[in-house]
Chain A
Amino acid sequence: METKQSGGATHTATSARPSLIHAVGVTKSFGGVTAVSGIDLDVHEGEVVGVMGPNGAGKSTFLSLLAGAQRPTSGELVVAGRRMRSADRAAMARLGVGLAHQIPKPFRKLTVRENVRVAAQTAPRARRRDLVEKALEMSGMAPKADSPAGELGLLEMKRLELARVLALDPTLVLLDEVAAGLNTRDLDELIALVALIRDEGRTLVIVEHVQEVFHQLAERIVVLEWGQKLTEGSPAEVAADPRVVEIYLGESIGAEKPARTAPRPTTEAPLLTATGLTAGYGQATVLHDVDLELHAGRVLAVLGANGAGKSTLAKSLAGMIPIRSGTISLEGAPIDRLGSFQRVRRGLSLVPEGRRLFADLTVRENLELGLGPRSAADSLERVRTLFPKLVELSDRAAGALSGGEQQMVAIGRALASEPKVIVFDELSLGLAPVVVDRLLEAVGEIAGWGTAVVLIEQNVHRALALADEALVLRQGRVVFRGDPGEFTDEALRLAYLGADL
């Protein structure tokens, strides 16, 4: 059970404390792909270590090794005193290693409190109740303790995810991109919560894209690239390292590229029209009375805070959920009664949130599944020209690709059906800036082909730079519609923070 304490020789200040993570040459391969390669790392009790790197760098894989979700292919890894020779999540949880997942998946049919109670059962019977109540209190979920977990919003689900981890009374907390998908205000709340967890003396390993989290929390940052450790140091050291700047930010430092060339005149009839669109789930009406009009070759950016109804709009346009009232028409013909597959045949494709690829099929098979009656012989050729990288990835299983590569496949699959209108739902969610740049560039090219684009995007400024028109939702209603140039910071604040500020 004794773990070595001397591994991190560079960190004399911390090496006196016992080591919670001791990794020497840790490697993890999936088939031919090496996701994590020869990583050395020591983390001592009470430390807060950030792990950063571009998409596909192996951050999440490394975290899953630490959590016992997977077994290292080779190398020596000791976490919380357990030698990681086999995968066993439950054993790690019982040793006090808690993993908060990037995409929270609560037990939907249980209440919030019951969700937390599941985790508390690793503790002795007498302590369970206290652990549950404390975790609920700390995470701010106490007022919602008796609500079914399936009815929570995204931020609440993330809080619940942390509450569940806290109820394990963990010594080591692993956070996998907990900030993904949150707007600024939610992010501040989440960072405050993580800081609370740190102040209790728990050790944290944080994988994150959102830099702010590191600056406020991490003492030491490990930078990964292509599965290897590029460098390691304090946030300031890492931020100053030119190699880090290069791999992480890429060309996006010069991201202030001019807005797209002047939008085409819009004299012709609109391709896509929606009037009075109202939709929702169960008893909740999420989208109220939305109108929109979109012409060929133009990009419509749909913006708004979390829960504003952006994804609901995308899903109702694509026919993934039924609409309550209103109309949707494509080239003047109503399509709101059609199933989503029929809409694809008419020329409306969706790139869904979370990509929804067929993970076991190859890239080529995924793309071919996108072909439809409207496709031409060279439909896939067009995709390969847009994303040349997909050619070399052709025979790889889609599930083994990095997030950015998967998004390319998802876009390619939607393009294979030769859509007249393409809807992107949360294009950049969880992807590194340099990848997002490439994808947004592709969106511009797609619009250049004459395809109408609906772009649902978290990243407001980038989306606005690309868009010909903007549509801003707040609590399911349109609060702004028009030229992105007229969309001032004032309007932005209104949409994201509310009129009362």
Chain B
Amino acid sequence: MTNSLDSTPKTARAVDGSGPARRRSIAPAARYLIPLVLGVAAILLADALGRSIANQGTELLLLALLALSWNVIGGYGGLFSLGHQVFVGVGGYALIVILSYTDLPLPVVLIAAALLSAVTGMVLGYPMLRLRGPYFAIGTLGVALAVLAWMLNWPFTKASQSYPLPMSDSLGFTELFQLTIVIAVLALVAITALVSSPLGLRLVALRDDEHGAASLGVRRVRTLLPVWAVSGFLAGLVGALFALQQGSLTPASAFSIQFVLDAIVVCVIGGVGTLYGPLLGAVVVFALRQYTADFGEWAMLIEALVVILVVRLAPEGLWGILSRTIRAVRRGRQAGIAPQKEGRS
């Protein structure tokens, strides 16, 4: 019945033949295996790298992790959060406070800190996720500013003074880098699983057409809340690792709006709502910042210019260009030549 819609058998065959193949351009298993293999390789390599490179590697991965976290809700969910620094700050302070008061092993504390950040997300998300579009962005920004004001005055976390990480718990540059690699790889695997899960499908459906999704039984807050919590968990991990890297936190450093701005810039440059865009974007932004480090205030101008150029020339981001090119080449090879030959033979 449907074939009668296609004007010629040739086009019908082209669609049938190339469609599924294109969708599975990265086979499911490889999407999990490649990051794992690369991760193990990087951990092994890390020993050979110097301390300064390891530290830079940590910074790069933290930027990437933060962007991955924002991308889950901002890219796949279409909710433009301006409040992710709350998660970073809660994760960071939670790690330092727990380490200061207990003797729990570091992995447990890391998970506890991230969980606390996720719970914060659930509590804040319940009212926030009822907001839409610009109201959500403003709402989350407002919450972030309120939390910052609170932290600057809370004696328990030493108010605006610096809160140091206990000396006994600090990690070497290489160890921290390796830990960050492990977390980054697990985060990527978790996000890959999330976006291809039924929950991820509902999330994208909500983003593309909220009413349409609701007509198909998708409940908005119930879908967004767990995703928002996952995003908070990951950003909390970034905060905890950031605390380990810095050795001490102040409210101004841990709850800085710069975190969420960085995440957005990285996602926009790499590709909002794509799996690997944030990674690519983090590499580009990090490299750019390294090269322009000596330019002083000009560095910000250059970065802004790059963002504007990407938004103007490649709204899907660099990953969008890359995957489109790969697809075009592949289609040229498969559909462009093969089906015509098929049709004649």
Contact = CB atoms under 8 A, between A and B. Distances in A.
B52 to A, nearest CB: 42
A99 interface: yes
B305 to A, nearest CB: 26
B20 A105 contact: no
Interface residues of A, number: 39
A278 B216 CA distance: 39
Interface in A42-100: 67, 69, 89-90, 93-94, 98-99
A467 interface: no
B332 to A, nearest CB: 11
Nearest to A88: B214
B2 A141 contact: yes
Contact of B217 (A69, A94, A140): A94
Contacts of A144: 2, 15, 19
A189 B217 CA distance: 27
A117 interface: yes
B259 to A, nearest CB: 28
Contacts of A475: 7
Interface of B: 1-3, 5, 7, 12, 15-16, 19-20, 23, 198, 201-202, 204-205, 208-209, 211-220
A111 B7 contact: no
A462 interface: no
The listed residue with most B CB atoms (<10 A of its CB), out of A89, A101, A114, is A89
B216 A122 contact: yes
A114 B214 CA distance: 15
The listed residue with most A CB atoms (<10 A of its CB), out of B5, B12, B15, B198, is B5
Contacts of A14: none
B215 A143 contact: no
B208 A107 contact: yes
17 contacts: A89-B214, A90-B217, A90-B219, A90-B220, A94-B217, A105-B212, A107-B204, A110-B205, A114-B201, A119-B216, A121-B218, A143-B15, A144-B2, A146-B19, A147-B15, A153-B5, A156-B5
Q: Is the interface of B mostly helix, strand, loop or mixed?
A: helix
Contact of A155 (B5, B209, B213, B215): B5
A121 B2 contact: no
Contacts of A99: 215
A101 B219 CA distance: 19
Contacts of B202: 118, 121
Contact of B198 (A90, A121, A153, A159): A121
A168 interface: yes
A115 B19 CA distance: 15
A194 to B, nearest CB: 14
A156 B1 CA distance: 11
A107 B206 CA distance: 9
Given A67-B215, A90-B218, A109-B204, A146 B7 contact: no
Contacts of B19: 144, 146-147
Contacts of A146: 19-20, 23
A422 to B, nearest CB: 32
A136 to B, nearest CB: 10
Given A107-B208, A110-B208, A147-B15, A168 B2 contact: no
Contact of A110 (B204, B218, B219): B204
B1 A140 contact: yes
A69 B209 contact: no
B217 A93 contact: yes
A143 B12 contact: yes
Nearest to A164: B216
Interface in A159-183: 159, 164, 167-168
Contact of A118 (B12, B15, B20, B213): B213
Given A118-B202, A142-B2, 8 more contacts: A89-B215, A93-B218, A101-B215, A107-B209, A107-B213, A111-B23, A146-B19, A164-B216
Nearest to B219: A90
A109 B7 contact: no
A438 interface: no
Contact of B205 (A107, A143, A159): A107
